[in-house]
Amino acid sequence: MMLHQQLVLVFGISLARGIYAFRSCYSEGQISVYYFCNLTDVPLVPKDTVKLLLSFNYIRQVNATSFPLLEHLLVLEIGTQHVFPVIIGKAAFRNLPNLLVLDLGYNKILQLDLDAFVDLPNLTVLRLNANSLGDSILMERYFQDLRSLEELDLSGNQITKLQPHPLFYNLTVLKTVDLKFNMISNLCESNLTSFQGKKFLFFSLNSNKLYHTSLMAWAKCPNPFRNITLSSLDLGHSGWSTEKVQYFCTAIKGTQISSLKLSPHIMGSGFGFDNLKNPDENTFTGLAGSDLRLLDISVGYIFSLNPFVFQSLGKLELLNLYSNKINQIQRQAFFGLGNLKTLNVSSNLLASCKRATALGRSPVCFLQASTVQEQHYQAASSLHIM
């Protein structure tokens, strides 16, 4: 009987803890969590609240009177409301002077007053992803007062043009711009003058419609990233042929890029499509002055690594060729890669590496989880095998 009572007590405590852990409508310890609480308005919360989470409710409108003065609030989340449109009025967050992170993502349709974000001098992160926002979000003055902004997430919207408002020039600490899953179709028509002089840690145009740009347009394309420094540029899912990749690399000649991601891509002949071109010695020549350290061209259709294909990338330290259709590695394919430390050619169709030659001064081939019968690892000691 005693054991039974103890088990009941333990079970009761565990159940109570479980219920407590999954509570979704409470304020405690400077954190207010109101998920799935059927709210139609912003609730009253303690004045010392630091984090306020209001996602998954029915809040249709936020205006200048929605919040009392909350000087301690640092993080506000009002995403994924179950009504639309969600309307953010003029100076809607004026009573949150120390807000650092504002998340308005996944609201299906978000309508913003041009002055919605005024009086947010300390905001560093703004998430506006998946809100059906169009070109005006970049072209108008929505972000005029956000001088502390470092990270801007506009992914999953309906932006077709990359033409940010001149006032972006004043956002001097902006480091991250995420534009993946939009509808931008022509980098050559971009006007990034207001981004010039900036040093981006991360800039993503992944999964846009860049494949719509014609070869003729690329042939005359000015450098869209002129006077912009990019630590990491993500152009995956661009649908670019080998020819278009070459035009792009030529267009951005001289732009400083540390890491370039083109994965996944459609470059290469795959297995038996001779009319489609594999990268050759001219494909990446435009990157010669970019000081590129990492190139990701994994998950594609490259069948043959042609001679001198990477000769212009002398500072490259990591080359990712994972999951292509590589069956041939021609002589001098790795010529010029004297600084390479990591090479990934796993999950390809390599039956032998005898013909892999010249990584710096030594033949090399690094394989894992490939269709491989024979491997030769003859490389500099600094190279990391994958």
Domain residue limits, the chain:
25-118, 124-226, 263-386
Q: Which run of H or E residues covers position 259? A: strand 257-261
Note the pLDDT of residue 274: 72
pLDDT for res 189:
87
What CA–CA distance (Å, rounded) separates 185 from 236?
A: 14
Residue 259 β-bridge partners: 232, 294
CATH number of 124-226: 3.80.10.10
Q: What is the CATH number of domain 25-118?
A: 3.80.10.10
Report, at the CATH architecture level, how domain 263-386 is classified. Alpha-Beta Horseshoe (3.80)
- CA torsion, points 169, 171, 177, 183, in degrees to nearest 10? -50
Tokens 């919040």 found at:
67
Report the Cα 75 to chain-centroid distance in Å.
22
Pull the structure tokens for residue 352.
Answer: 């032998």
Domains 124-226 and 263-386 share a fold: yes
Amino acid making up residue 49:
T
List per-residue pLDDT tens for the chain, 386 residues long.
443 444 333 344 333 334 444 577 999 999 999 999 999 999 999 999 999 999 999 999 999 999 999 999 999 999 999 999 999 999 999 999 999 999 999 999 999 999 999 999 999 999 999 999 999 999 999 999 999 999 999 999 999 999 999 999 999 999 999 999 999 999 988 999 999 999 999 999 999 999 998 888 888 899 999 999 999 999 999 999 999 999 999 999 999 999 999 999 999 998 667 778 999 999 999 999 999 999 999 999 999 999 999 999 999 999 999 999 999 999 999 999 999 999 999 999 986 554 444 444 433 455 554 443 333 333 333 455 45
Q: What is the DSSP-derived secondary structure letter of residue 286?
A: G
